[in-house]
Amino acid sequence: GVENTYTANDILRRWLFIYECCIKKQIRIIGFSSDADSKYMRAMRLVSGFFATLPNFKLHQHPNAFKLNLISEWCWFYLRQEQLFLFLQDPTHLVTKWRNRLLSSTVQLCIGQQTITIEHLRDIIESGQYTKLDHNLTRTDLNPKDRQNYRSCERLSSDDVLNILKNNTNTQGTFVYLQLLRLIITTYIQTTTPLKTRKLVEHYMIILNKIL
């Protein structure tokens, strides 16, 4: 096993070590990808200067730091212009977290008057109206203990499953939720998605996430 005794400063030192080693090999690291673990979040805030500071390290004054040209009208967008490297959510974790939220036994989801529930998917699997050829789902896709099952996310948000949910007036909430899952995959994971489409879908998801 791994002891969870490391600190945000340990993470920061590891990032800097990796960064400096890559610089020596003429490789410029733009950023690091991670999940939202609290220690990693603390390290991200320290490096980026997001309401946190490193009194003995001025990483934004590093000779290899770059400058971000932020839109002046975005007074609500706080990010220091000088950054040594940036951070982003690991897209696979983002997708699996969306699935795990649906499979959680303690979370109750709804959109308007429509419920969002795993039972709608279980009904599809157990229904005699459909075969596996119709939806390609298995019971393991609904196993909440398998928290990093990315392939399950793809199957849950497939066209076949979405069409079945869409055609049932009682499963519209789950349909919207899984459609959002599909959009997350399209935006952050599929490499063939054009940049313009990514930005458009991002804005769409932000609006819908405020509703959920």
33-42: average pLDDT: 80
Overall residue count recorded for the chain in this entry:
212
pLDDT in tens, 106-138: 888 888 889 999 999 999 999 889 999 999 999
Give the three-class secondary structure for 109: strand
Task: Please state, in angstroms and rounded to a whole number, the distance separating the CA atoms of residues 18 and 51.
Answer: 24
Coarse DSSP helix, strand, coil percentages of the chain, rounded to the nearest 5 percent: 55, 10, 40
Task: Please state, in angstroms and rounded to a whole number, the distance separating the CA atoms of residues 156 and 142.
Answer: 9
pLDDT in tens, 160-195: 999 999 999 999 999 999 999 999 999 888 889 888
- Residue with structure tokens 């940036």? 86
pLDDT band at 147 (very low <50, low <70, confident <90, very high): confident
CB 150, CB 124: distance < 8 Å: no
Q: What is the pTM of this model?
A: 0.72
Structure tokens at 139: 């019971």
Task: Please state, in angstroms and rounded to a whole number, the distance separating the CA atoms of residues 173 and 75.
Answer: 35
Directed axis angle between helix 195-211 and helix 172-188, to 10°? 150
29-40: average pLDDT: 82
